[in-house]
Amino acid sequence: MSYRTRLAVLALLDSILVLSAIFVSYIQMHPSIQINDQKILLISGAVLLVSHHAFAIVYRLYHKAWEYASIGELNAIAKAVTFSVLFTAIVQMVAGYEVYFRALSSTWMLYILLLGGSRFIWRITRDTYMKAKPTQKRALIIGAGSAGVMVARQLKKSTDSELRAIAFIDDDPNKFKLQILGIPVYGSSEKIAEAVEKLKVDNIIIAIPSLSKKELNRIFEECSKTKVKTQIIPMIEDIMLGKVSVNSFRDVQVEDLLGREPVELDMGSISEIVTGKTVMVTGAGGSIGSEICRQICKFNPQKIVLVGHGENSIYLIDMELRKEYGETIEIVPVIGDIQDRTRMFEVMEQHLPYVVYHAAAHKHVPLMEYNPREAVKNNIFGTRNVAEAADTFGVNTFVLISSDKAVNPPNVMGATKRFAEMIVQHLAQRSQTKFVAVRFGNVLGSRGSVIPLFKKQILNGGPVTVTHPDMTRYFMTIPEASRLVIQAGSLARGGEIFVLDMGEPVKILDLAKNLIKLSGYRIEEIGIKYAGIRPGEKMYEELLNENEVHKKQVFPKIHIGKAALPAENTLLDFMRDFERMNENDIRETLIGLANNKVRVLEVV
């Protein structure tokens, strides 16, 4: 109905209820009321009616959506009723009539009951009969806190929700057997499987935003004992910003289970080197490079230069950033190969960036074992080209994205990364530019990582191929890796290697099992096959050489150290003789150089 029609209906209904309350109360309390006293009853009824509508306007009773009525709306009714009755009593006293306090008290109670009851009957009718869908799935909500209650309320009032909350699970014993919004708290998280079976649950929703990764893993393990689909609520920040609604549930991702507690950034120090500055990112179309660009744009640089070899990947990140930041940030896409020294010097001279994030690299371990020459040309010579161009044109800070595979590398990719670190560390000794490197482990979901491969194998029905049951790796999310790179640039003094405290390494076998469960299958349905260790792979990876380890953190969860270097001539000799070497010589010399000449001279 229209607003005016709705207003008229409510005002008429309230008028009937108000007059009913006062007349019923007077007749009930004073059945032998005299003829003379009936006059005061009529006057009191008129005064109460007028005062009701006046206070209804004051407390906006006709502007409230009563289908969502709660304590706030009941409080407004109580105030309007109380002041209306008090005003009526005052008029009676001023007019010199006898004040029937018992009748007015009864009027007040009946008045609240009728007005409040009419509103809540409408809400109950709407929730129970007008919204019920026989096809709705039965949902179990994990967490009876504020987020869980928000989810349950949203599911109740949503007209198009496919889910209906039928029970809560919460580890707070004080909530056991209580009802919240009419929904019972079944028990602790240990009873998830029992609740699913007894209550015939179709969906599980995890609604505890404050859960640590460890606790989320524990709860997911309980959920995975059932065959029911498990989902999680969006981040509270996204809900508050209006990016998603509270009932926009998403599937639990492996990032939720393996990602670590987030590192809080020092916004002030990052702003100093990014805000209002020109920033250049190489490999800007890659998974890490593109996320660095997204994170940087949040700090409002004056200009961001997107350098990449792949036309399509640079086009995609360019279009994405222009859509969100095109009016406030100058975005410059540059197609160029870091192996092209002349091109890198041209780009650096043209844009004169304040900070450079060097993310361009070949990073696939087995592929680089088969193509060591290309690995050297891109990861070593390409790094030298960009780094020396940065030195020549006075870049303030140069951040090299390195890898945990640079520690004691048995493979070409790791050795080229360690060599690249040596190049920037030598430059740091004589340059005004602050050269630093950032090491981190495997990035969840990045191109060439194991997760997309596992997902494809699961989609095809399996089996999932794992190299070795005991192989472990460090993992981090793409946003976390990118934030670390940006934070490292703000901490740079020159020559450091920054390393994120990545917690405990994760077994690849456990990762495969989790992905199978998250995809809605049992492990035996998909199967796991052991393929054997591939060329150049290590069973266990490290983030720092044992001589580089320094327990003190320069920033929460960030370590820093300085590694000794072989003489720069040694590096130059390898690069000079590189073209004359065959691939076996390249591999052996490179790995030997990366492993045998690394020890700590100084730790900062």
Reported as half-sphere exposure (CB side, CA atoms, 13 A), residue 468 has a value of 11
Domains of the chain: 3-130 (no CATH), 137-252 (3.40.50.720), 267-442+475-502+544-602 (3.40.50.720)
Query: CA torsion angle for 365, 368, 370, 372 (degrees, to 10)?
Result: -140
pTM above threshold 0.85: no
Task: State the chain's mean pLDDT as an integer.
Answer: 81
Provide the greatest CA pair distance for the chain.
122
Calculate the CA 420 to chain-centre distance: 33
Of 168, 154, 155, 44, nearest in space to 95 by CA? 44
Mean pLDDT of 178-199: 89
DSSP strand E in 212-347: where? 229-232, 250-251, 278-282, 303-308, 330-335
Q: Kindly name the residue from 377, 405, 538, 562 that is annotated as catalytic.
A: 405
- Would you say residue 191 has pLDDT above 80? yes
Q: Which residue has the higher pLDDT, 444 or 515?
A: 515
Residue-wise pLDDT for 505-553, tens only, equals 778 888 888 778 777 777 888 889 888 877 666 677 665 555 555 556 6
What is the enclosing helix (H) or strand (E) of 107? helix 101-125
Distance from C-alpha of 360 to C-alpha of 357, rounded to nearest angstrom = 9
Residue-wise pLDDT for 40-80, tens only, equals 777 878 888 888 888 878 877 766 655 555 666 678 788 88
Of 209, 321, 317, 208, nearest in space to 262 by CA? 209
Question: Catalytic annotation on 405?
Answer: yes
Distance from C-alpha of 229 to C-alpha of 397, rounded to nearest angstrom = 47
- Most confident residue range from 163-177, 334-348, 481-495: 334-348
Residue-wise pLDDT for 87-122, tens only, equals 888 887 887 777 777 777 888 888 778 877 777 776
Cα separation values, 546 from 405, 550, 554, 563, 599, Å:
14, 9, 18, 11, 9
